[in-house]
Amino acid sequence: MTTRDIQILLDKYFEGQTSLEEEARLKQYFQGEQIDPAFLPFQPLFQFFESERETGLSPSFESKLMTRIKAEKQARIRNMTTYIARIAAVAVIILGIAIVFPKLQRPGNAVANINWDKYEPQTEDEAMAEATAALQLLASKLNGSTKTATHELEQIKKSATIFK
Amino acid sequence: MNTQEFQIQVLPVKDKLFRLAFRMTGSALEAEDLVQEVFLKVWNGRMELESVQNIEAWCMRIAKNLAIDRLRSKHWQTRTDAEPVLEIAHEASPYTLAEQHDTLAHIRQIMNQLPEKHRQVMELRDIEGLSYEEICEVLGMTMPQVKTNLFRARQAVREALLKLTAFKN
């Protein structure tokens, strides 16, 4: 670039009319060693921009940040798991109550499911045998009761003679 | 977006964010902390990233807003009491400036004496290399405002540089 080109660019620069490409050319020029004495007052300005651009974060910043992000991610997953577990626990409790509570309220309705048909006599002979056995049992019980009643009456009569 | 994509697409802007935060807060510690906060915000809101056209400008805007919040907060005030920020020599004469040997420090002082909006626009353009559209997005300004602020900032810097050279000679 000629001295005139630089002068035009500098004028445009201070007017705020330069493009980013033109500004890059100016910065490149002022980083060089052969600078026209007329432009030397402006050299420190462009050097300042370059030196400022070198300022940055420490190399460990990125790893520290990523460690923190991963830790937060893990913590979020843990929190989410705990949250889901709590919801599941509440759901189980509600479901349990819904199933158990109605049965506790109506205990009489709890009827065992028994097939009585299989105890029914299948033939007339079986029915007759069953009936006979039942009547014999009844008769034996009645006989026992008659004997007891007779014995009790005799005892009463004996007792009555004492008061005569 | 997974962590690997995040590292490739978002993290390269970290140094620009740091410089922006550092220039606003004047504290390297505060700036690093702020950049971390920006990235955590971006990570937690990564579902929105698909609708973001310019991730760099978007991150810088978040950083700028967070820095403003911190500057306003009492918390920051307390911390900066213990950690002095860079002194700005508003009343330094050109002679005093000429006496200083560090040329870059002269420029820094000239920049620091600019009104905040002028300085921010010039830094984003000349240090960070942002386009006018990106500066509009980061600073929430219109295009004419950005161009006017840039013009005034560069004119003021040019004048200060010429004065400094005259005193040196």
Which residues on chain B are in Cβ contact (under 8 Å) with A56?
Answer: 14-15, 18-19
Confidence of residue A160 (pLDDT cuts 50, 70, 90): confident
Cβ contact B126–A49 (<8 Å)? yes
Cα angle: A48, vertex A52, A58; to 5 degrees: 155
**Averaged pLDDT for residues A56-73:** 88
Q: Which residues of B touch A (CB under 8 A)?
A: 3, 6-7, 11, 14-15, 18-19, 22, 32, 35-36, 39-40, 43, 103-104, 106-108, 111, 123, 125-129, 131, 147, 150-151, 154-155, 157-158, 161-162, 164-165
The residue type at A155: Q
The answer on B112 and B80 residing in a single domain is: no
Range of the domain at B140: 89-169
Whether A92 contacts chain B with CB within 8 A: no
Chain center to CA of B103: 20
Cβ contact B103–A65 (<8 Å)? no
**Averaged pLDDT for residues A84-91:** 91
Please give the pLDDT value at position A122. Answer: 84
Percent of chain B with pLDDT over 70: 82
Inform me whether the pLDDT recorded for A163 exceeds 80. Answer: no
Which residues on chain A are in Cβ contact (under 8 Å) with B134?
Answer: none
Domain count, chain B: 2
Which residues on chain B are in Cβ contact (under 8 Å) with A71?
Answer: none
SS3 B97: helix
Q: Which residues of chain B have pLDDT under 70?
A: 74-101, 169
Among candidates B38, B52, B63, B36, which has minimal Cα distance to B120? B63
The answer on B164 and B144 residing in a single domain is: yes
Looking at B29, B52, B86, which one is the last position of a domain? B86
Domain ranges of chain A: 3-53, 60-107, 128-164
CATH of the domain at B93: 1.10.10.10
Please give the pLDDT value at position B120. Answer: 94
The answer on B95 and B169 residing in a single domain is: yes
Please give the pLDDT value at position B93. Answer: 55
Looking at B28, B60, B86, which one is the last position of a domain? B86
Looking at B42, B59, B86, which one is the last position of a domain? B86
The answer on B123 and B103 residing in a single domain is: yes
Q: In this predicted structure, which of A34-48, A58-72, A96-110 has the lowest mean pLDDT?
A: A96-110
Cβ contact B126–A23 (<8 Å)? yes
CA distance to A45, B7, B55, B156, per residue, from B95 (Å): 18, 48, 44, 17
Q: What is the torsional sign of CA B142, B146, B151, B156?
A: positive
Q: Each residue of B97-146: pLDDT tens digit? A: 454 457 788 899 999 999 999 999 999 999 999 999 999 999 999 999 99
The answer on B54 and B20 residing in a single domain is: yes
Please give the pLDDT value at position B97. Answer: 46
Q: How many CA atoms lie within 13 A of B133 on its CB side?
A: 3
Cα angle: A151, vertex A153, A157; to 5 degrees: 120
Please give the pLDDT value at position A13. Answer: 96
Q: Are B67 and B24 in contact (CB under 8 A)?
A: yes
Please give the pLDDT value at position B79. Answer: 52
The answer on B121 and B51 residing in a single domain is: no
